[in-house]
Structure 1
């Protein structure tokens, strides 16, 4: 039933370990310079159905991450969370 109706999987708050695991894998994928510039301070917060929510430093950084790296984040998060991740929404921390 989950594969047919992925929106029925509900919301899941990520643990600190899951958040840090996604960050570590992304750091390895994008390299230290890009990670420090874009991903420093990011928090991967919750999974709602197949949509992952994250909070970044500011609006510009959030937009850059979402536009350039959401596909990679979705793949990494799916591996860590052992759940399907189709969409990554990155918001500035001020909206937290």
Structure 2
């Protein structure tokens, strides 16, 4: 398991924001933290369960592609958990 650095986390956030637009990013991704990668799974924390589910359902392929580019490592699955489970 590899913990992401703050710079890697912020780089993923910035590229996702550029892809989805500022309004959507602020509404959906506010408070997200991309935390660690294990094998090809990227783990992230969102502000609550509903947002975590929405991000997983609607944005996983985009996040996986962006994270693969930033981390220079294949990401196939994005798991988003609510911060309360952190």
In 2: Cα distance, 1:38 partner to 1:90 partner: 12
Q: Does the residue aligned with 2:2 lie in a helix, a strand or coil?
A: strand
Give TM-score scaled by structure 2 length.
Answer: 0.99
Runs of at least 4 residues off by over 3 Å: none
Aligned to 2:77: 87
Which of residues 51, 60, 84 is equivalent to 1:61?
51
Q: Does the residue aligned with 2:74 lie in a helix, a strand or coil?
A: coil
Size of the aligned set, in residue pairs, is 86
Aligned to 2:6: 16
Q: Is residue 70 from structure 1 mapped to residue 60 from structure 2 by the alignment? A: yes
Tell me by how many angstroms 1:32 deviates.
0.8
Aligned to 1:41: 31
Unaligned runs of 5+ in 1: 1-10
In 1: Cα distance, 2:18 partner to 2:5 partner: 20
Tell me by how many angstroms 1:15 deviates.
0.2
RMSD of the alignment, in Å?
A: 0.3
Unaligned runs of 5+ in 2: none
Tell me by how many angstroms 1:80 deviates.
0.1
Which of residues 13, 22, 33 is equivalent to 1:32?
22
For residues 42-74 of structure 1, the C-alpha deviation after alignment (integer angstroms, 9 at most, x for no partner) is 000000000000000000000000000000000
